[in-house]
Amino acid sequence: MKMRSVGIIGTGKYVPERVLTNADLEKMVDTNDEWIVSRTGIRERHIAAPEQATSDLAYEAAVRALKSAGMTADQLELIIVATITPDTSFPSTACILQDKLGAKHAAAFDLSAACSGFVYSMATANGFIQTGMYKNALIIGADTLSRITDYTDRNTCVLFGDGAGAVIVGEVPEGRGFLSFDLGAEGAGGDLLKLAAGGSRLPASEATVEGKQHYIYMNGREVFKFAVRVMGTATEEVLRKAGKTKEDIDLFVPHQANIRIIQSAMQRLDLPEERCVINVDKYANTSAASIPLALVEAAEEGRIKEGDTVLLVGFGGGLTWGASVLVW
Ligand code: UT7
């Protein structure tokens, strides 16, 4: 069976209006701008308004992506929302979004792979479209990490922000679109980065609230080591699968968690920082939204031209990683 070529045919992004700066955080916990900038590269992050949930951020990004693809919501056949901060455990955020958009003909589900969720979702949609099961899909990485961040813990509260990035994927001419994916997981490292309570293992109770177990727990140093390692190995593997070398890549779009992780990866690959998208300074780590926010922003700024080869690579809770090479 001849597989269809699948690629990105529309893009959109959204970040909430409110900006939380390092100076604001200095008033909340024992930290300072110099520490945050030198250890992470982050200067500010956007925080959702109290009435905004993940589906609201996703909706804004989705509307823009549909417009850029020249499509209406009722033409959509599949919606995947990559998120670890769904509006509710169920219904899924994708179903809530399907209703908001009026995407009556779309199947809809959420995908949980933390910061790797967007690449996992694109790989999933690619499979559906390649085999002809669906013609198109709306893929959104959206997270409202501010809702699961402990703003009294300086180790984590400086790192995260809220946002959403969306793409429409569909059939593209041969030679364009996705060339390869590399997805992986190391479940043994799951305890290094997690939200302990609120699931079937540890349902919400007074004790879990008191124990702050509804907030992100992270062993930063261990996650850092994992990140630097898999950014390198996943990049090499996804290039090999695409039959490309690092010199063929016009733009790297890495997960925006920490500028030092991005710089270590670029050094390891011996590539100049100019070939890499960096916006962690403005948005901090937005989990599943991070890669699409960086990709869409780069496209909107004219940094990606038709025919360019782009490499996406991310890592996150699970532990997971995901990478893709695509021709724009
Ligand atoms: O999407 C995936 C999720 N996560 C990540 O990618 C994060 C990966 N990890 C990291 O980015 C880094 O490990 C961090 C940014 C989280 C931490 O940087 P680090 O260089 O590994 O610092 P550290 O944890 O070794 O802490 C160094 C010191 C500690 O003080 P002591 O124990 O040496 O006295 C911390 O208490 O820095 C202190 N510290 C802070 N000081 C001021 C930690 N957070 C802060 C803070 N302000 N916000």
| Full pLDDT tens readout for the chain, 328 residues | 678 899 999 999 999 999 999 999 999 999 999 999 999 999 999 999 999 999 999 999 999 999 999 999 999 999 999 999 999 999 999 999 999 999 999 999 999 999 999 999 999 999 999 999 999 999 999 999 999 999 999 999 999 999 999 999 999 999 999 999 999 999 999 999 999 999 999 999 999 999 999 999 999 999 999 999 999 999 999 999 999 999 999 999 999 999 999 999 999 888 888 999 999 999 999 999 999 999 999 999 999 999 999 999 999 999 999 999 999 9
Instruction: Using DSSP bridges, classify how beta strands 162-171 and 193-194 pair: parallel, antiparallel or unpaired.
Output: unpaired
CA 127 to chain centre: 19
DSSP classification of residue 211:
T
Other C-beta atoms closer than 10 Å to the C-beta of 67 total: 13
Of 224, 315, 321, the one to substitute when testing ligand 1's pocket (max ligand atoms within 8 A of C-beta) is 224
Asked if 253 and 165 count as a contact pair (C-beta separation under 8 A), the reply is: no
231 in contact with ligand 1, CB cutoff 6 A: no
CA 279 to chain centre: 13
Instruction: Using DSSP bridges, classify how beta strands 162-171 and 136-144 pair: parallel, antiparallel or unpaired.
Output: antiparallel
pLDDT of amino acid 271: 86
Other C-beta atoms closer than 10 Å to the C-beta of 217 total: 16
| pTM for this entry | 0.97
Give the helix ranges, DSSP H, for the chain.
22-26, 33-40, 54-69, 93-101, 117-130, 154-157, 206-210, 220-242, 259-268, 280-283, 290-300
Asked if 81 and 106 count as a contact pair (C-beta separation under 8 A), the reply is: no
How far, in Å, from the CA of 154 to the mean position of ligand 1? 9
264 in contact with ligand 1, CB cutoff 6 A: no
DSSP 141-156: EEEEGGGG--TT-HHH
34 in contact with ligand 1, CB cutoff 6 A: no
Phi, psi at 269, each rounded to 5°: -85, -5
31 in contact with ligand 1, CB cutoff 6 A: yes
